[in-house]
Structure 1
Amino acid sequence: MIIRHLQYVVIASVLMLSGCSAMPTTWTHPPMAIPYQPSLQQQIQLARIEQILQQPNIPQTTLATIYYDRGLLHDSLGLRDLARLDFNKSLTLNPNQPDLYNVAGVIFTQMGLFDLAYEAFDSTLDLAPEHPYAHRNRGIALYYGERYDLANDDLLPHYQLDINDPYRVIWLYINDLKFVPEQAQTLLQQRYAASDKQDWGWQIVRMYLGDISEAQFLTEIAEQSKDNQQLALRLTEGYFYLAQRYQNQQDYSTAVMLYKLALAGNVYEFVEHRLSLLELDRILTAEQNAAPVEPVPPNA
């Protein structure tokens, strides 16, 4: 039944896209995946952890690992507050956990608490200077903190470690649009040309470069996703990076729609899901701050 429903979604999406323009404002039924639901395995893992925690005399380091693992599970289910409680317990028991500081930094970034995010990523790199993700995540936090030069200092070396990772190129480009806007498109083209172009994420770069239209980009996601899981993952990424384009063009109403679509798959673990929430909050806050104050009647 799920497979039949997925086929319907994909076919309907392709038919819709084939007849529309590239502008998202013309969409009536954008491609959608069946939203992620808690799996039986995740629920069993949580139940097992609860049983383990009832046992007496658990070593402190083991207990720290258990709370960390449960925090990751809560985070993957979108239970952010429960995840933070578990991470805090884990850190109290064992502060020597670079991966945990990295996760905490990502969560602080999502919450807009950038100074705390910087401190968390600094702690990760103090404990593990070669951590594979901390520089990228700190660069993203610095970008949202509008410290574009420092973001470049993290994102550029991170890209140079693997020039075939499209997401390193994409985040450099997003920061370049603020840091060196007149060079951003040229640098993106150069980095694309230097890559092996193997990863699916290069389609996002091709869309940014104008090599494929937005309709083609989404049609390929709908046609080529092998199952609902892959469809949900790719749409989460695709809608987020499309929203970035429209937000950069100051088309905030379209960006808001796209960020909401990025959230629709419930892919809580993806940075694009987390940052869609942050972007929506930032847009709403900016609109509220820009709204004119209504005059108070004299006899009110």
Structure 2
Amino acid sequence: MNWFRLVGLGVLLILSGCAATTQEQQSGWVYPPMAVPLQPSIQHEVQIARLNQLLLRDDLPDDIRAKMYYERGSYYDSVGLRDLARLDFNQSLNLNPVQPDIFNLLGVYFTQVGEFDAAYEAFDSTLELEPGNQYAERNRAIALYYGGRADLAVEEMTKHYLDDPEDPFRALWLYIIESEQDPEGAREHLLERYQQRTEQWGWVLVAIMLNDVSEEVAFKAVLDGTRDNSVLAQRLTETYFYLAKRYQFAGDYANAIALYKLALSFNVYDYVEHRYSFLELGRIFTEVKARRSTQEQE
């Protein structure tokens, strides 16, 4: 899309060291589809303040205090205060270690910062306490993918996908992980799954990944699908993330970086697409730096 070229132009100059061509400078563009970035609600602020006051009491039973730490940590996480959330989750676990949901969230945090061994342990703890936890299964497979354990990641995500083949997000992540080993085979598998799709929203994202629909048509579907700003922000976060991944697979890092930044811009902190956009940006810059280092040595 024309506006992608403009959004990614600054990054492209950094990556390639080349000036924009005359054609690019003269091309037209429009603003990308956007939503108002989500902001903390007054309810969140009131609840955090209320919990702050309650946690000052010294007569709370440990089980009640553990629940309050978990609740406040969840509010912190929803507004992007992840260090404070992590601190509260650890406080809650110290009082009550039998909380699978907290271990799952901590595993996601560890994945975001590249502490993969700690992430695996956290997800294992969730699954030991709650063997059927689907979120932990998916998140562990994603952590294995980012941690460079492609074989195990494919095995775990395949099992997760087969538990619910109608879930488009399972199909997307299985494709992403399979692409690490066999890009062509992964695309063929995704196309087969797409042909058996249901009417769920997420299959639009699969169509984008397969380039089965134009980006204009895809974004029109997003914008026509809701008038609620929160839902629009969520869907655009997902759309920009998976579109960025498609550009990244194609080696178009300039547009991928621009799109990951757009995915971050809506403040949908509790979506994995927001959480892992930071990680993907770091991977791109690491790869570009390594390529430059190799070129300089040659």
TM over 0.5: yes
Say which SS state the counterpart of residue 184 (structure 2) adopts. Answer: coil
Deviations 1:276-299 (A, max 9, x none): 011112222333344449x9xxxx
1:82, distance to aligned residue in structure 2 (A): 0.5
Could you say which residue in structure 2 is the equivalent of 1:159?
Answer: 161
Could you say which residue in structure 2 is the equivalent of 1:270?
Answer: 271
1:227, distance to aligned residue in structure 2 (A): 1.4
Name the aligned partner's letter for residue 250 of structure 1.
G
Could you say which residue in structure 1 is the equivalent of 2:237?
Answer: 236
Change (3 A) 1:23 1:204: farther
Deviations 1:197-232 (A, max 9, x none): 221110011122232111211122122222111110
Number of residue pairs aligned between Structure 1 and Structure 2: 274
Could you say which residue in structure 1 is the equivalent of 2:218?
Answer: 217
In 2, the alpha carbon distance for the partners of 1:275 and 1:151 equals 16
In 2, the alpha carbon distance for the partners of 1:22 and 1:213 equals 13
1:51, distance to aligned residue in structure 2 (A): 2.0
Alignment of 1:1-300 (within 5 A): 21=1, 24-25=4-5, 27-195=29-197, 197-292=198-293
Name the aligned partner's letter for residue 91 of structure 2.
K
Bigger mean CA offset, 280-289 vs 97-106: 280-289
Deviations 1:117-166 (A, max 9, x none): 11110111111111121110000011111211111121111111111111
Q: Percent identity?
A: 51
Could you say which residue in structure 2 is the equivalent of 1:9?
Answer: none
Bigger mean CA offset, 231-240 vs 83-92: 83-92
In 2, the alpha carbon distance for the partners of 1:60 and 1:25 equals 55
Deviations 1:257-279 (A, max 9, x none): 00000011010010000000111
In 1, the alpha carbon distance for the partners of 2:268 and 2:239 equals 13
Give the conservation status (yes or no) of the 8 Å contact 1:166–1:205. yes
Could you say which residue in structure 2 is the equivalent of 1:4?
Answer: none
In 1, the alpha carbon distance for the partners of 2:141 and 2:5 equals 32
Give the conservation status (yes or no) of the 8 Å contact 1:159–1:165. yes
In 2, the alpha carbon distance for the partners of 1:241 and 1:208 equals 7
Give the conservation status (yes or no) of the 8 Å contact 1:240–1:259. yes
Bigger mean CA offset, 207-216 vs 43-52: 207-216
Question: Which consecutive unaligned segments of at least 5 residues does structure 2 have?
Answer: 7-28
Give the conservation status (yes or no) of the 8 Å contact 1:177–1:184. yes
Give the conservation status (yes or no) of the 8 Å contact 1:68–1:87. yes
Question: Which consecutive unaligned segments of at least 5 residues does structure 1 have?
Answer: 1-20, 296-300
Normalised by the length of structure 1, the TM-score is 0.87
1:43, distance to aligned residue in structure 2 (A): 0.8
Deviations 1:22-77 (A, max 9, x none): 78326541111100000011111111111211222211121111111111110110
Give the conservation status (yes or no) of the 8 Å contact 1:98–1:123. yes
Say which SS state the counterpart of residue 133 (structure 1) adopts. Answer: helix
Bigger mean CA offset, 276-285 vs 138-147: 276-285
Give the conservation status (yes or no) of the 8 Å contact 2:222–2:232. yes
Give the conservation status (yes or no) of the 8 Å contact 1:239–1:261. yes
